[in-house]
């Protein structure tokens, strides 16, 4: 049976001991993050990006309100990874603006990125460093050092059941274990916005479900905002906001029920098919 935290949210670890510290409880209280006066966690306006003559994103507008789970739904090649690369400043924004909690990414990158936690689709752990060293390095990048960094890193490893392997090189982990460490690493500096680019790729069904539940728990109990990119329809729930991205363009944005109604469809799967002419995965793809 899946272990749960005090808030009733399943732990990321499939099994193993956990400390009394829950890493996911380090965010600020939800009420403080849902004030009407706060800017949205993420706002993209008129964003376009080209690779030579090929346009990867075309006048993209989307918003992630604070305290909401927003599913960015699109087939492979829709432009999801390019969008994430612009949010995180891996690519320079040449057309349009991106704000994180009111801070413009291209003009105030330090303030914007300080409030952002990222999990990329490609694995990003340093394979030659130990698990603890990977986490401490991330903490140092965000100005966290010493006893606090070690406490947070220890709690992170306990959360994913890897305390006993903290001195092992990251290359000795399975793909699923690497992904779990990347997710808790993204939370280490207490971000108010999490952006995750197909974070469940390569995970088995049980691990995938546990990670989704944990991230949703952050939204429900702590008011963290989440942009969750996926091509798997079963990762979208009825209460989510959804953005349908196809061939670099946003075809629909809104509550799931609104998107379905506007498409004149019976469900989200049919709505996606009508909008794009294709079907997203159902969670059984590898």
Domain CATH for 237? 3.40.50.300
* In a domain? residue 143: no
Q: Is residue 268 part of a domain?
A: yes
User: How much is the average pLDDT of 110-124?
Assistant: 91
Q: Which residue has the higher pLDDT, 251 or 34?
A: 251
- Which residues is 117 bridged to in the sheet? 194
Query: Is residue 12 situated within a structural domain?
Result: no
237, part of any domain: yes
Candidates 12, 85, 4, 13; CA nearest to 44 is 85
Average pLDDT, integer, range 51-77: 95
How does residue 210 score in pLDDT terms, banded at 50, 70 and 90? Answer: confident
Model confidence pLDDT, tens digit, residues 216-251: 988 887 788 999 999 999 999 999 999 999 999 999
Lowest mean pLDDT among 126-135, 146-155, 208-217, 261-270: 208-217
Map tokens 């891996």 to a residue.
90
Give the pLDDT mean for 150-164.
92
Domains of the chain: total: 1
The whole-angstrom separation of Cα 99 and Cα 107 is 10
Q: How far is CA 163 from CA 18, 26, 31, 154, 167, in A?
A: 8, 19, 32, 7, 9
Q: How confident is the model at residue 29 (pLDDT cuts 50, 70, 90)?
A: very low
Asked if the structure places residue 53 within a domain, the reply is yes
Q: Phi, psi at residue 19, to the nearest 5°?
A: -80, 175
The average confidence (pLDDT) of the chain is 85
Residue 50 resides in a domain: yes
Tell me the average pLDDT across 256-278.
94
At 200, the pLDDT band (50, 70, 90 cuts) reads confident
Contacts of 52 (CB under 8 A, 6+ apart): none
Full residue range of the structural domain in which residue 235 is found: 23-124+191-276
Evaluate if residue 9 carries a pLDDT over 50. no
Residue 208 lies in a domain: yes
The average pLDDT across 154-179 equals: 91
160 pLDDT band (50/70/90 cuts)?
A: confident
Does pTM surpass 0.85? Answer: no
Does residue 92 lie within any of the structural domains?
yes
Return the structure tokens found at 4: 């749960």
Confidence band of 5 (pLDDT split at 50, 70, 90):
very low
Q: How far is CA 252 from the centre of its chain?
A: 20
């Amino acid at each position: 049976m899946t272990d749960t935290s005090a808030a009733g949210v399943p732990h990321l670890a499939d099994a193993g001991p956990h400390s009394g510290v829950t890493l996911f409880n380090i965010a600020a209280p939800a009420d403080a993050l849902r004030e009407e006066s706060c800017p949205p966690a993420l706002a993209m306006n008129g964003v376009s990006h080209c690779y030579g003559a090929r346009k990867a994103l075309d006048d993209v507008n989307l918003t992630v309100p604070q305290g909401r789970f927003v599913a960015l739904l699109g087939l492979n090649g829709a432009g999801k990874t390019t969008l994430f690369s612009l949010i995180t400043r891996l690519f320079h924004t040449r057309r349009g603006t991106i704000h994180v909690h009111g801070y413009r990414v291209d003009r105030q990158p330090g303030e914007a990125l300080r409030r952002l936690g990222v999990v990329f689709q490609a694995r990003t752990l340093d394979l030659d460093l130990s698990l603890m060293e990977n986490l401490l390095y991330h903490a140092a990048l965000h100005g966290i050092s010493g006893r606090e960094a070690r406490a947070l890193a220890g709690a992170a490893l306990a959360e994913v059941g890897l305390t006993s392997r903290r001195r092992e090189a990251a290359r000795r982990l399975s793909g699923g274990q690497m992904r779990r460490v990347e997710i808790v690493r993204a939370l280490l500096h207490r971000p108010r916005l999490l952006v995750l680019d197909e974070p469940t790729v390569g995970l088995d069904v049980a691990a995938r479900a546990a990670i989704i539940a944990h991230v949703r728990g952050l939204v429900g109990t702590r008011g963290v905002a989440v942009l969750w990119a996926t091509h798997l329809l079963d990762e979208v729930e009825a209460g989510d906001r959804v953005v349908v991205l196809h061939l670099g363009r946003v075809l629909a944005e809104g509550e799931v029920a609104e998107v379905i109604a506007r498409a004149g469809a019976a469900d989200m799967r049919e709505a996606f098919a009508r909008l794009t002419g294709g079907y997203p995965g159902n969670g059984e793809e590898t």
